[in-house]
Structure formats: C-alpha cells, structure tokens
Chains A and B, each alone.
Chain A
Amino acid sequence: MFSFNTPFKFVLKHLGAALLYAYAWSAFAQAQQLGVSTDAALAQYRSMLQDANPADLYVAKGQALWTKARGPKAQSLESCDLGLGPGVVKGAWVQMPRYFNDTRRVQDLESRLVTCMEAIQGFNTQEIIAQDFSKGERANIALLAAYVSSESQGMTFKVPQEHALEREMYASGQELFYMRGGTHDFSCASCHTQDGRRIRLQDLPNLSTSAGAGFAFGTWPAYRVSMGSIWTMQQRLADCFRQQRFPKPKYVSPATVALSVFMGVNASGQVADAPGLKR
C-alpha cells in the first residue's frame, strides 16, 4: 500500500485532520508510560480535544431543529414545557427527570421530548418508540437532547424529589439498580458500585457516589467517537441492559426513567458537562 515512490501528495492527504487526534492519543500513551493513571491520562486526552468535541456540531443542528416547524401539525418545539415553563430551555435539563402535571408522570428529557413532539407537532409516540436508536425521529431526539443539555452546561444538578411520584421513582430506580438477573446474574451495581474499576480502558463510574453519578449522568448525551454519532442516556441505558444480557428495555419506559431519577438525584450538586465526548 505504501512505498517509497508514493507521491508526497498521498502522504499529505492522509495526514490531514487525523493529526491532532493522533497527537492527543500519543500524549495519552506517554502519560501512561510515565505511570500516570489511566483516568488522569484520559482526562488529559479529553481536555486536549475540548475544542474539538464534534458534539458541538450536533448542538447546532439540535437548536435548528428546536425552532423548526415540523411534523403533521407543522409546529416548532418552542412552546414545549421542559419543567421550567413553556419554551424555557436554559437550566431545564439539570432538573430532570421530574414530575409533570399534564402527563401525571415522572419524565426524563427524552420522554418529555416525545410528549411535546406528539402534543405540539403531531408525531405518533408509538411509532417513535417502535423505531431504532439513531434512526428517523429518534435520531432527531438525540440532536434535540444534545441541544437542551448544552443549555445547562456548567450548572449544578438539582433533580427534584418533592412530589410523591418522584420519590417513588427514585425507590424503583434504586431497586432496579441493585436487582440481579439475566443469564449472567448481573445487576447495574455489579459494575457500578466500586471505585477505580474499569472495563478494558473505560473507567466505570461508581454510581452510588455523588461524584460518580455526576460524571455518568452529567456527560450524556455524548458524542461517541467510535460510533460517529450522539448517544443519549436512553441509548446508553439500553446498551447497559444488553451488556447485562437483560431484555431490551422499551424506549422512554418507566423503568429507564426510574434509573435516570436514581442517577440524577445521586448526582445532586455535581456540575453538568453535556454533551460529552466518549470513546
């Protein structure tokens, strides 16, 4: 493939933009050799890519989608109530999941977006639930989630526990988190209740601590470099279920929302830094 008479052009062409990623990665490898923990080295890698998080591109797309008249009713989502009043996006995400009077349910960001898309724009909830992640309206929800979460960047989590249903959802989430099952007799807690553990190179956040929950809950949605797309918390959870060999959870189902309540409340006081950048 590569020989000495390869034109210089060819070499240049392949250097292109991959250069900085390669540079950042070599810094990461060096840090590892110097005995710096994987965690610290990955943090350094992330900080070097701070100006280059492709999630920013999706935030811009999500913002355009938020204000665009769409769906059978040709309406924009600008009147959508995310908990702080119709159209208020700033700071809404750090106070979700929460109880909503109109639906009489505790909803996370994605389930609330689906509600708004049906009520305001006329989309069919069941059709959205039946779709796959990253396809059709679900891909649009990921863009919207990236935008909404970005509007709370740097704010501290304050997921409410005032309503009885909110407290009930926290208890359910906690129960689900510690519930062992499936062919591998796994629970979420099997991987996520110890400090300093990892799968391959990925650190496993300890979700029973505030810092761990803050890191996990506060950085999704995120751009996944290996997937080249935005993953939402719902997608992250669905993939955790798959890794546990559990049945696929229904999109925006109460069980997934309960787990988000559990993580969100545990993350109280931690700073939101979404959309994040992940492997």
Chain B
Amino acid sequence: MSDPMRIRLQSAGGLTTVKVLMSHEMESGQRKDEDGKIVPIWNIQDVFATLNGRVVMSSEWGGGVSKNPFLQFVLKGTKPGDKLSITWRDNKGDTRTDEAVVS
C-alpha cells in the first residue's frame, strides 16, 4: 500500500502555489543491487491534478525523477473552498490520490 502525499497550498491574490511531496521509490530500472542484478523498474508514470473535478495539470514521468519526488506548480483563479486533488499512477498500476482544500 502506498503512503500519503504531503500537499501544501499557499494562496495569495487568486494564485495558489501547490507543493506536493510524494512517497515513492522511483526505481529507474537501471540500478543494480548488491548481487549485480538489475533492480526492476518501479516508478510513477502519470501525475495529474484536478480542481473541483476538472483536470488542471497533467504530466508524464519516468526514471529521471528522484526518489520521494517533489512537485510544485501555480494555479490561477482559485477561490477559497476549492478542492484540489493530486493523483499518481506507477508502472505497477498502483495509484494514490490525496486531496487538499484551498484556504
């Protein structure tokens, strides 16, 4: 089971800065373990954000992103009470969604 993300929102003048810290191993599939065997690829492939159910950001990730990735972006035209949700899906099909409310 995946661990929760940490989502922090900072709003000022209709702009909301979204900071997300995700808990994931992000194995690139190119690393070798102590016995010289390739560590199987295991990383987040899709990340998207919705604001009140509407997709406002989507991205495709891969092996170039670090372990425990941090994502930051800015949303325009947000109002207090808006519900933001972040979802990621990895190559094993595991997925996680966490939510935060704009203040």
Cα–Cα distance between A20 and B66 once the two chains are bound (Å)? 11
B3 / chain A contacts, CB cutoff of 8 Å: 57, 60-61
- Shortest Cβ distance from A131 into chain B, in angstroms? 15
How many A-B residue contacts, CB cutoff 8 Å? 64
What 0/1 pattern do residues 213 to 228 of A give for CB contact below 8 A with B?
Answer: 0000000000000001
Which residue on chain A has the smallest CB distance to residue B5? A57
Pick the contact of B23: A17, A49, A57 (CB < 8 A): A57
**Interface positions of A from 23 to 73, Cβ below 8 Å from B:** 49, 51-54, 56-57, 60-61
Q: Is A201 an interface residue (CB 8 A)?
A: no
Interface pair A228/B68, CB less than 8 Å apart: yes
Pick the contact of A18: B4, B21, B22, B66 (CB < 8 A): B66
- Shortest Cβ distance from B66 into chain A, in angstroms? 6
Interface pair B64/A54, CB less than 8 Å apart: no
A54 / chain B contacts, CB cutoff of 8 Å: 21, 23, 67-68, 70
B residues contacting the other copy or chain, number (CB 8 A): 22
Residues in chain B within 8 A of chain A (CB atoms): 3-4, 6, 8, 19, 21-23, 47, 59-62, 64-72
Residues in chain A within 8 A of chain B (CB atoms): 9, 12-14, 16-21, 49, 51-54, 56-57, 60-61, 228
B19 / chain A contacts, CB cutoff of 8 Å: 51-52
10 additional contacts (CB under 8 A) given A16-B69, A16-B71, A57-B68: A12-B60, A13-B60, A13-B62, A16-B65, A17-B22, A17-B65, A52-B19, A52-B70, A52-B72, A60-B3
